[in-house]
Homo-oligomer: A and B are copies of this chain.
Amino acid sequence: MAMALALSERGRGRTGANPNVGCVIVKQGVIIGRGWTQPGGRPHAEEMALAQAGASAKGADIYVTMEPCAHESARGPTCSNAIIDARPKRVIVATLDADERTRRRGIDRLGDAGIPVSVGIREPEARRAMAGFLSRVEKARPFVTLKLALSLDGCIAMADGSSQWITGDRARAHAHLERARSDAILVGAGTAKADRPTLDVRTDGLTDRSPQPVILGSDPEMPAHWLQISEPAAIADLADINWLLVEGGAQTAASFLQAGMVDRLLLYRAPIIIGGGLSGIGDIGLEKLAAAHGQWRRTDLRPLGQDVLEIYERAA
């Protein structure tokens, strides 16, 4: 299942409305098929892995990070039927589908066909790996990561707006990888106007994975392919966007935080002091200091060259 979870990451940020699923087929200790949701959402992970395994899938163990689909689609066969046809020995599933059209139906269909199914193996990791899709289904909006490059004193720029550069090469490269794992990137109109960011992925081999740019607010000079929204809640209407990366600036960060629409903080902390610069996060309407506590849980903390990467997720 660990390998299936790792494979699921390959599809992250490019599976459209579909979950980025991973699948591994094992027979007598040998891996005979590996799959992950392909760009745009098809083929599904199970379909890809079954194609690799061929007739050998008979009697094999199939590990898949999410319950195989059971609803008919014009775009392809249902994975539960394809698995039944392959006659595996058993199917191991990390988490159930959150989509009501399929929830438990894929499992039940396999069970009715006499194939033993285990559910719940590494479920927390699976929910994290496919959080974008799950957020869309459960919260009707994309999973939102707020990324900030900060000085030790929490500034994103000098008082005059200078911000190139806060962080070093390794942190910036990591941030570009994070872009490649996102369906869309959002910046505020102020940042768009001040920085004219390209919001593309400038990492060798991943330049074709640049996400959809989105702007919060209005900008008459916005490039034609950008999308525009007027408030954080409007991210619910962004079609086929599971993973949204919010890159600033301070007011945009604050408005998403105040709306309770940030699921994850991705902080790159540089070993510099700016002193009296522009704070990374504007007023979020906090009324009591105690209310700020218990909101965030640290999930990563490590050096990235001279900088430090800190990742926090919503505690609740």
Binding stretch for chain B, among A34-42, A69-77, A87-95, A152-160: A152-160
* Residues of the B chain whose Cβ atoms lie less than 8 Å from the Cβ of A152: 154, 265, 267, 296, 310, 312
CA A297 to CA B301, docked complex, whole Å: 17
Also in contact, A286 and B275, with CB within 8 A (given A280-B153, A310-B152):
yes
Q: Which residue of B lies closest to A278 (CB)?
A: B279
* Residues of the B chain whose Cβ atoms lie less than 8 Å from the Cβ of A292: 151, 272-274
* Residues of the B chain whose Cβ atoms lie less than 8 Å from the Cβ of A166: 289
**18 pairs across A/B with beta carbons < 8 Å?**
A151-B292, A152-B265, A152-B267, A158-B289, A159-B283, A162-B288, A162-B289, A163-B289, A254-B275, A271-B298, A272-B296, A275-B281, A275-B283, A275-B284, A276-B279, A298-B303, A301-B301, A308-B310
Q: A281 touches which one: B153, B158, B163 (CB < 8 A)?
A: B153
* Residues of the B chain whose Cβ atoms lie less than 8 Å from the Cβ of A293: 270, 272
A interface list, Cβ under 8 A from B: 150-155, 158-159, 162-166, 254, 257-258, 265, 267, 269-277, 279-286, 288-289, 292-293, 295-298, 301, 303, 306, 308, 310, 312
Q: Which residue of B lies closest to A150 (CB)?
A: B154
* Residues of the B chain whose Cβ atoms lie less than 8 Å from the Cβ of A265: 152, 273
Closest Cβ of chain B to A269, distance in Å, is 8
- Inter-chain contact B272/A276, CB cutoff 8 Å: no
Also in contact, A279 and B281, with CB within 8 A (given A273-B296, A292-B274):
no
Also in contact, A280 and B154, with CB within 8 A (given A254-B275, A292-B272):
yes
CA A158 to CA B279, docked complex, whole Å: 13
- Inter-chain contact A276/B284, CB cutoff 8 Å: yes
Of the candidates A162, A274, A288, A308, the one having the most CB atoms from chain B within 10 angstroms of its own CB is A274
CA A286 to CA B275, docked complex, whole Å: 7
Closest Cβ of chain B to A101, distance in Å, is 37
CA A176 to CA B81, docked complex, whole Å: 64
Q: A284 touches which one: B150, B269, B273, B279 (CB < 8 A)?
A: B273
- Inter-chain contact B297/A271, CB cutoff 8 Å: yes
- 9 closest A-B pairs by beta carbon, nearest first, are A154-B154, A276-B283, A275-B284, A272-B292, A153-B281, A153-B154, A271-B296, A275-B281, A162-B289
